[in-house]
């Protein structure tokens, strides 16, 4: 009798170990990235065989044991059970009823927010002869939102500084989670420490970032502001470039200016000479016509005088 009990106990213990091992082997983990306010689907699919819902229990729960309430959704014998569901998830979870018997126990979580960022665990139990775990899955829900294209303002001269110092500012908004902000000197790709960095939370839970940089002015400044969202693997940037003018191009430009100046001066002199020539020609023509008119007048009068002299009495 005692031997039979020991054998039964050993078999039961071995069976329990096999169940645990099977559950561990079946455990899979996925990472889901969702945007704030969207609906997220937490995947849990069992592909072994067709199932009967009346013999199943499906639990969605938060994997973190430190949570006061961990039950996200429960399905018992083909019916939703809300008795132990956390208040935070009330009316925000749904199973796909047309897929359950095919082993798809994925959960739809509505209107996700920052407080929904957890590791979720799906546990499927079969209750035929005895209760056993036939499938487990873990889903890590991460939330994210793209930041707006950074806006770079500057450079602004700092009049209060004894040195020639320039200030740049950079801002971006409506992103999640908190970003990494980098100032980069593109001439050598070195990172520059920001003078100021402010990250503020908006009403919808997203973040706005504002940063400033103060640097000594140089003749060839190439500054970049970069806003990184690690979850989305996005790196948005804005650039300022001030190219230094080469001495060769400066000399050539100066020569061109000198040539242009000499050409303009020559054109002005030629114009003046032509104008003077025209004026002289007009004056000469006028004088010649005036002289001609006097000669004509004298010729007309002289014969009358001579005629009168011949006819006068002696």
Which pLDDT does position 133 carry in this prediction? 93
User: Rg (Cα) of the chain, in Å, rounded?
Assistant: 48
Q: Same structural domain for residues 54 and 103?
A: yes
Q: In 189-246, where does DSSP find H-type helix? A: none
Closest CA to 212 of 160, 158, 165, 152: 152
Using CB atoms within 10 Å of the CB of residue 309, give its burial: 0 to 12 exposed, 13 to 18 middle, 19+ buried.
exposed
Residue 286 lies in a domain: no
Q: What is d(CA 45, CA 106) in angstroms, rounded to the nearest whole number? A: 7
Distances, alpha carbon 243 to alpha carbons 144, 163, 223, 240, 250, in Å: 38, 21, 12, 10, 13
The mean pLDDT values, 10 residues at a time, for the chain of 314 residues are: 45 42 55 93 88 91 84 94 94 95 95 94 91 94 96 86 84 96 95 96 92 91 96 95 58 51 67 78 76 58 47 42
Residue 282 lies in a domain: no
Which pLDDT does position 123 carry in this prediction? 96
Q: Same structural domain for residues 162 and 114?
A: no
Order of strands, sheet of 131-144, starting from the edge strand that comes earlier in the sequence: 28-35, 131-144, 119-127, 56-62, 71-76, 79-80
Q: Which two tokens stand for residue 207?
A: 């973040």
What's the domain count of the chain?
A: 2
Of 115, 143, 171, the one marking the end of a domain is 143
CA dihedral 42, 46, 51, 54 (to 10 degrees): -40
Of 102, 117, 143, the one marking the end of a domain is 143
Residue pointed to by tokens 């890590």: 140
Q: Same structural domain for residues 131 and 162?
A: no
Q: Same structural domain for residues 98 and 165?
A: no
Using the 8-state DSSP alphabet, how is residue 218 labeled? Answer: -
Residue 294 lies in a domain: no
Q: What is d(CA 63, CA 46) in angstroms, rounded to the nearest whole number? A: 19
Of 179, 207, 242, the one marking the end of a domain is 242
Residue 99 lies in a domain: yes
Q: Which two tokens stand for residue 104?
A: 């798809």
Q: Compute the C-alpha angle 253/257/261, nearest 5°.
A: 170
Q: Same structural domain for residues 128 and 234?
A: no
Closest CA to 86 of 111, 110, 104, 62: 62
Q: Same structural domain for residues 110 and 167?
A: no
- Whether the upstream peptide bond of residue 155 has omega within 30° of 0, thus cis, is yes
Q: Same structural domain for residues 126 and 216?
A: no
Q: Which two tokens stand for residue 201?
A: 């939370």
Residue 208 lies in a domain: yes
Residue pointed to by tokens 């306010």: 37
Which pLDDT does position 129 carry in this prediction? 81
Which pLDDT does position 300 carry in this prediction? 54
Which pLDDT does position 25 carry in this prediction? 43
Evaluate whether 166 touches 183 at the Cβ level (below 8 Å).
no
Which pLDDT does position 290 carry in this prediction? 73
Using CB atoms within 10 Å of the CB of residue 297, give its burial: 0 to 12 exposed, 13 to 18 middle, 19+ buried.
exposed
Q: In the chain, where does DSSP find H-type helix? A: 2-26, 247-311
Residue 166 lies in a domain: yes
What's the CATH code of the domain at 236? Answer: 2.60.40.10
Domain holding 182, by residue range, is 151-242
Task: Read off φ and ψ for residue 240, nearest 5 degrees.
Answer: -130, 130
Q: Same structural domain for residues 129 and 32?
A: yes
Residue 299 lies in a domain: no
Q: Same structural domain for residues 74 and 178?
A: no
Which pLDDT does position 294 carry in this prediction? 60
Residue pointed to by tokens 């793209």: 146
Q: Same structural domain for residues 160 and 124?
A: no
Q: Same structural domain for residues 135 and 227?
A: no
Residue 273 lies in a domain: no
Closest CA to 227 of 189, 165, 166, 174: 174
Q: Same structural domain for residues 120 and 49?
A: yes
Which pLDDT does position 173 carry in this prediction? 97
């Amino acid at each position: 009798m005692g031997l039979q009990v020991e054998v039964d106990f050993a078999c039961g213990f071995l069976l329990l170990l096999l169940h645990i091992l099977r559950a561990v082997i079946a455990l899979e983990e996925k990472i889901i990235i969702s945007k704030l306010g969207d609906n997220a689907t937490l995947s849990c699919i069992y592909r072994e065989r067709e199932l009967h819902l009346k013999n199943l229990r499906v639990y969605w729960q938060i994997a973190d044991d430190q949570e006061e309430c961990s039950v996200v959704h429960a399905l018992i014998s083909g019916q939703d059970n809300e008795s132990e569901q956390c208040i935070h998830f009330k009316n925000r979870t749904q199973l796909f009823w047309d897929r359950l018997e095919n082993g798809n126990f994925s959960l739809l979580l509505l209107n996700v927010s920052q407080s929904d960022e957890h590791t979720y665990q799906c546990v499927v139990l079969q209750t035929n002869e005895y209760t056993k775990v036939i499938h487990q899955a873990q889903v890590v829900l991460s939330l994210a939102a793209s930041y707006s294209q950074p806006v770079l303002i500057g450079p602004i001269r700092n009049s209060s500084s004894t040195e020639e110092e320039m200030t740049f500012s950079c801002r971006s908004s409506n992103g999640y989670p908190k970003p990494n902000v980098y100032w980069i000197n593109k001439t050598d790709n070195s990172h520059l420490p920001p003078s100021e960095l402010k990250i503020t939370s908006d009403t919808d839970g997203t973040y706005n970032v504002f940063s400033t940089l103060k640097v000594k002015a140089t003749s060839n400044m190439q500054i970049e502001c970069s806003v990184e969202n690690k979850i989305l693997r996005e790196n948005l940037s804005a650039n300022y470039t001030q190219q230094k003018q080469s001495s060769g191009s400066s000399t050539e430009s100066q020569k061109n200016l000198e040539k242009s100046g000499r050409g303009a001066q020559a054109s002005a002199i030629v114009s003046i000479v032509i104008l003077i020539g025209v004026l002289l020609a007009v004056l000469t023509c006028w004088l010649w016509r005036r002289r001609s008119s006097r000669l004509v007048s004298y010729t007309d009068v002289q014969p009358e005088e001579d005629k009168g002299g011949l006819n006068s009495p002696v």
